[in-house]
């Protein structure tokens, strides 16, 4: 070490010793910047000369001894001190230690001892100063870098935390130090949901194995006041010279802005910049997802391909800026039209794709297309221009017109071209047959919705006859629709449509009322009272207020409940067992009877039947009609009758067309019969005549007389 020019202050109250030291120092090549004899003088001289080293006698005469003087000097000037001591007790030495001296020289000493003590002391001082500088520099760096930094000890207790870490976690360093890391650095990650998992990972990987965990994304830092900040962090073990890991250090940064940017980029990648609607890419994705759902649930989907009519003309005559504004407004109105039921995308310049999921019938797509065409009828007002715009729509249906994105889009596009050819401002299905069928259906549906109001529904009545006495004991009410163009329609021609659209409930309620009214009217006219059987659809039967409706109708028409018999099919009854039983019970209590219609075609279980509180089984006509040809049918009929009687139920057979069938049923002890043999379903006045004439009894008697 080069000691040239180093200034040394000598503090020694024995002048002989002082002189000796001074002389030795000069000989050794040091500059002596002063020789003083008291503590006070040492402090003063230090201030004046700023020595590089002080040789300080511990025991000094005067108020201030060497230790105290050294203490003050260290504190003020950080000047290194070597104590000179002739003797020292433990007490003095431990006091001296506190002032962090750089060495002791025991008097008397020779030059060589002095030289090496000074050199060691100066070297130590230089190292210490460097270290302190480095430490200061490090701590400034840690405090001033933009990342949060947290360090822990080997038990994962926090030992350090910089300003950014304080700000981000919401914890003050003084409160956090000593606390468990995971309490302060509380993070959540998609993969590691709880803090224990995070803690275990840090313990195992970083503290035990010494692994550096670099740049962990998608972590959320939960702040002290429970806010969530997306962060990116890295964790490293702190290693000492012996390769121990006395702690870990975590650096982390707030990536909120970057995340937002990523979101924006992601959004822009799959949305149209102008209208902010999904673009073709996202539309494809949506459609594929919905396609697999539809496939799984066996449902239909509609894809609408929509093009604004004459958009090019608008763009060219009024300018692109107006064109752009129009596209935005059109997008907004399409979104309103489609609402929750589907999704809209801009798939080309003036082309839009619409996906309608979960449709029951192509008609549902028509409802959407109609709504859009209707919306376009209101002119768009843009920058003072009133624009009358229309649109042409092509529709393809999954699975009928394709089972993948490309086919469905291509076919909807073709259909759209057809709509353009047909004069624009309309929609077309890809499959022309669907156009026709849908049109027919829509016309029928619209017409049907008005059937009740326009009094187009009629009830026909079919006699139910006691097999033993051959008297009419009841009638079944069977609905007909007198269509203004198509004539008299049977239930098969319109009931399935009524069921799909829910109109069946209106039909059923209307028939119930009409039939009860009619029955009461016949009774009022003095005809023998009969029981009226009315069919109930599945939907009507499931209505919780069915008992109330029936009660109200009976009250309003004045018909006694014993003259009403409600028919439900086997399947309807079975399907809604928990529902059926209480509903039937309530109606039974009112005195109304129940029959199971089309019996034998469903899957009744005997034990269920017992619980049903029904009064009658109605053998389906298919068995009756096969009696003469099929021995199985005979067996089934006799079994149904026997079973019905065992359960104390009446049994009626429907569709009886011949004497042979009637005779067989009588021989099997069937209770009642209904069918063309006696009477077809008749309009009310003809049925009334039947009741008056007792024609059937006459014909039966005459037949009997003839045969006898």
Under the rule (CB under 6 A), what is the footprint of ligand C2E?
Answer: 462, 478-479, 490-492, 495, 508, 511, 535-537, 567, 597-598, 621, 654-657, 675-676, 681
CB 372 within 8 A of CB 337: yes
Q: Give the one entry of Mg ion, ligand C2E, none that residue 675 binds, where binding means its C-beta sits below a cut-off of 5 to 8 angstroms depending on kind.
A: ligand C2E
CB of 493 to ligand C2E, least distance (A): 9
Q: Give the one entry of Mg ion, ligand C2E, none that residue 683 binds, where binding means its C-beta sits below a cut-off of 5 to 8 angstroms depending on kind.
A: none
CA distance 641 to 653: 10
Name the one range near Mg ion by CB under 5 A: 174-182, 530-538, 600-608, 696-704: 530-538
CB of 571 to Mg ion, least distance (A): 12
CA distance 50 to 515: 123
Which CB sits closer to ligand C2E, 393 or 479? 479
DSSP class of 529: P
Query: Does 672 engage in binding with Mg ion (CB under 5 A)?
Result: no
CB of 486 to ligand C2E, least distance (A): 15
Which CB sits closer to Mg ion, 350 or 570? 570
CA distance 305 to 300: 17
Among 99, 428, 431, 535, binds Mg ion (CB under 5 A): 535
Q: Give the one entry of Mg ion, ligand C2E, none that residue 254 binds, where binding means its C-beta sits below a cut-off of 5 to 8 angstroms depending on kind.
A: none
The upper half-sphere exposure of residue 534, i.e. CA atoms within 13 Å in the direction of its Cβ, equals: 26
Specify the pairing of strand 351-359 against strand 342-346: antiparallel
Which CB sits closer to Mg ion, 365 or 530? 530
CB of 567 to ligand C2E, least distance (A): 6
Which CB sits closer to ligand C2E, 393 or 673? 673
The upper half-sphere exposure of residue 136, i.e. CA atoms within 13 Å in the direction of its Cβ, equals: 6
CB 553 within 8 A of CB 513: yes
Which CB sits closer to ligand C2E, 119 or 657? 657
Name the one range near Mg ion by CB under 5 A: 64-72, 371-379, 441-449, 597-605: 597-605
CA distance 655 to 659: 12
Query: Does 565 engage in binding with Mg ion (CB under 5 A)?
Result: no
CA proximity to 294, closest of 252, 255, 330, 342: 342
Q: Please state, as a whole number, how many other Cβ atoms lie within 10 Å of the Cβ of residue 594.
A: 22
Among 13, 57, 272, 598, binds Mg ion (CB under 5 A): 598
Which CB sits closer to ligand C2E, 307 or 508? 508
Which CB sits closer to ligand C2E, 33 or 507? 507
Which CB sits closer to Mg ion, 376 or 494? 494
Which CB sits closer to ligand C2E, 306 or 566? 566
Specify the pairing of strand 53-57 against strand 7-11: parallel
Q: List residues bridging with 342 in a β-sheet.
A: 356
DSSP class of 206: I
Among 445, 565, 597, 671, binds Mg ion (CB under 5 A): 597
Q: Give the one entry of Mg ion, ligand C2E, none that residue 600 binds, where binding means its C-beta sits below a cut-off of 5 to 8 angstroms depending on kind.
A: none
Q: Give the one entry of ligand C2E, Mg ion, none that residue 478 binds, where binding means its C-beta sits below a cut-off of 5 to 8 angstroms depending on kind.
A: ligand C2E
Non-local (6+) Cβ contacts of 440 within 8 A are none
Q: Give the one entry of Mg ion, ligand C2E, none that residue 657 binds, where binding means its C-beta sits below a cut-off of 5 to 8 angstroms depending on kind.
A: ligand C2E
DSSP class of 562: G
Which CB sits closer to Mg ion, 343 or 674? 674
CA distance 335 to 480: 42
| Both structure tokens of 406 | 């490309």
DSSP class of 594: E
Among 166, 350, 567, 570, binds Mg ion (CB under 5 A): 567
Q: Give the one entry of ligand C2E, Mg ion, none that residue 508 binds, where binding means its C-beta sits below a cut-off of 5 to 8 angstroms depending on kind.
A: ligand C2E
CA distance 194 to 222: 12
- Please state, in angstroms and as integers, the Cα–Cα distance from residue 206 to each residue in 199, 221, 607, following that order: 10, 19, 68
Q: Give the one entry of ligand C2E, Mg ion, none that residue 681 binds, where binding means its C-beta sits below a cut-off of 5 to 8 angstroms depending on kind.
A: ligand C2E
Handedness of CA 668, 669, 671, 674 (dihedral sign): positive
Q: Give the one entry of ligand C2E, Mg ion, none that residue 671 binds, where binding means its C-beta sits below a cut-off of 5 to 8 angstroms depending on kind.
A: none
Number of residues that bind Mg ion (CB under 5 A): 4
CB of 692 to ligand C2E, least distance (A): 22
DSSP class of 618: E
CA distance 47 to 119: 23
Q: Give the one entry of ligand C2E, Mg ion, none that residue 655 binds, where binding means its C-beta sits below a cut-off of 5 to 8 angstroms depending on kind.
A: ligand C2E
CA distance 124 to 166: 36
Which CB sits closer to ligand C2E, 181 or 596? 596
CB of 494 to ligand C2E, least distance (A): 10
| Both structure tokens of 496 | 């399935």
Q: Give the one entry of Mg ion, ligand C2E, none that residue 491 binds, where binding means its C-beta sits below a cut-off of 5 to 8 angstroms depending on kind.
A: ligand C2E
CB of 622 to ligand C2E, least distance (A): 9
φ and ψ at residue 675, rounded to 5 degrees: 165, 175
Non-local (6+) Cβ contacts of 416 within 8 A are 305, 306, 307, 392, 393, 394, 428
Which CB sits closer to ligand C2E, 181 or 465? 465
Binding mask 348-367 for Mg ion (x = CB under 5 A): --------------------
Helices (H), 339-475: 362-375, 405-421, 432-448
CB of 571 to ligand C2E, least distance (A): 11
DSSP class of 379: P
CB of 522 to ligand C2E, least distance (A): 18
Query: Does 57 engage in binding with Mg ion (CB under 5 A)?
Result: no
- Alpha carbon 410 to chain centroid, angstroms: 31
Query: Does 674 engage in binding with Mg ion (CB under 5 A)?
Result: no
Handedness of CA 505, 507, 512, 514 (dihedral sign): positive
CA distance 14 to 359: 112
CB of 311 to ligand C2E, least distance (A): 50
Instruction: Give contact residues for Mg ion (rule: CB under 5 A).
Output: 535, 567, 597-598
């Amino acid at each position: 070490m080069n000691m040239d020019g180093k200034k040394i202050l000598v503090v020694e109250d024995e002048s002989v010793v002082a002189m000796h030291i001074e002389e030795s120092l000069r000989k050794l090549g040091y500059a002596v910047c002063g020789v003083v004899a008291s503590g006070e003088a040492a402090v003063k001289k230090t201030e004046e000369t700023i020595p590089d080293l002080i040789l300080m006698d511990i025991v000094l005469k005067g108020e201030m001894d060497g230790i105290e003087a050294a203490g003050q000097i260290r504190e003020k000037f950080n000047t290194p001190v070597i104590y000179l001591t002739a003797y020292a007790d433990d007490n003095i030495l431990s006091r001296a230690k506190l002032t962090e001296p750089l060495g002791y020289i025991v008097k008397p000493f020779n030059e060589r001892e002095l030289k090496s003590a000074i050199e060691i002391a100066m070297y130590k001082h230089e190292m210490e100063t460097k270290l302190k500088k480095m430490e200061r520099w490090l701590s400034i760096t840690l405090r001033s870098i933009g990342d949060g930094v947290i360090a822990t000890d080997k038990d994962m207790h926090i030992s350090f935390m910089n300003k950014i870490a304080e700000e981000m976690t919401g914890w003050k360093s003084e409160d956090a130090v000593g606390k468990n890391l995971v309490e302060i650095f509380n993070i959540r990650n998609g993969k590691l949901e709880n803090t224990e998992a995070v803690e275990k990972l840090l313990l195992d990987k970083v503290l035990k194995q010494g692994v550096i965990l670099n740049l962990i994304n998608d972590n959320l830092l939960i702040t002290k006041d429970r806010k969530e900040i997306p962060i990116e962090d890295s964790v490293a073990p702190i290693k000492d010279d012996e390769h121990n890991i006395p702690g870990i250090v975590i650096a982390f940064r707030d990536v909120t802005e970057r995340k937002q940017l990523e979101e924006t980029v992601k959004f822009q990648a799959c949305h149209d910049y102008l209208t902010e609607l999904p673009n073709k890419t996202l539309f494809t994705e949506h459609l594929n997802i919905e396609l697999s759902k539809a496939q799984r649930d066996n449902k239909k989907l509609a894809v609408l391909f929509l093009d604004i009519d004459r958009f090019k003309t608008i763009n060219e005559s009024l300018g692109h800026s107006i064109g752009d504004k129009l596209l935005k407004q059109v997008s907004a109105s399409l979104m309103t039209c489609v609402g929750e039921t589907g999704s809209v995308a801009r798939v080309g310049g003036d082309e839009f794709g619409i996906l309608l999921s979960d449709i029951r019938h192509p008609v549902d797509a028509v409802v959407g297309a109609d709504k859009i065409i209707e919306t376009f009828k209101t002119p768009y007002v843009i920058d003072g221009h009133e624009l009358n715009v229309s649109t042409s729509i092509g529709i393809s249906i999954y699975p009928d017109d394709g089972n993948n994105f490309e086919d469905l889009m291509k076919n909807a596009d073709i259909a759209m071209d057809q709509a353009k050819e047909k004069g624009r401002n309309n929609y077309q299905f890809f499959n022309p047959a669907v156009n026709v069928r849908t049109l027919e259906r829509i016309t029928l549906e619209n017409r049907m919705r008005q059937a009740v109001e326009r009094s187009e529904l009629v009830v026909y009545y079919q006699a139910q006859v006691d097999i033993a006495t051959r008297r009419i004991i009841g009638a079944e009410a069977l609905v007909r629709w007198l269509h203004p163009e198509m004539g008299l329609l049977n239930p098969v021609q319109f009931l399935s449509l009524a069921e799909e659209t829910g109109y069946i409930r209106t039909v059923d309620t209307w028939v119930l009322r009409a039939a009860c009214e009619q029955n009461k009217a016949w009774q009022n006219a003095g005809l023998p009272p009969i029981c009226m059987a009315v069919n109930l659809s599945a939907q009507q039967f499931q209505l919780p207020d069915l008992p109330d409706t029936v009660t109200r109708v009976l009250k309003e028409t004045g018909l006694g409940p014993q003259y009403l018999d409600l028919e439900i099919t086997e399947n309807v009854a079975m399907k809604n067992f928990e529902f059926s039983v209480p509903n039937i019970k309530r109606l039974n209590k009112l005195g109304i009877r129940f029959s199971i219609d089309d019996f034998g075609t469903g899957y009744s279980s005997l034990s269920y039947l017992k619980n049903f509180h029904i009064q009658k089984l109605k053998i389906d006509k298919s068995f009756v009609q096969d009696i003469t040809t099929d021995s199985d049918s005979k067996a089934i009929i006799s079994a149904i009758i026997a079973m019905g009687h065992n359960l104390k139920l009446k049994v009626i057979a429907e569709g009886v067309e011949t004497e042979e069938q009637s005779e067989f049923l009588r021989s099997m002890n069937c209770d009642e019969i209904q069918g063309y043999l006696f009477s077809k379903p008749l309009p009310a006045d003809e049925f009334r005549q039947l009741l008056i004439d007792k024609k059937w009894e006459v014909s039966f008697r005459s037949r009997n007389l003839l045969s006898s």
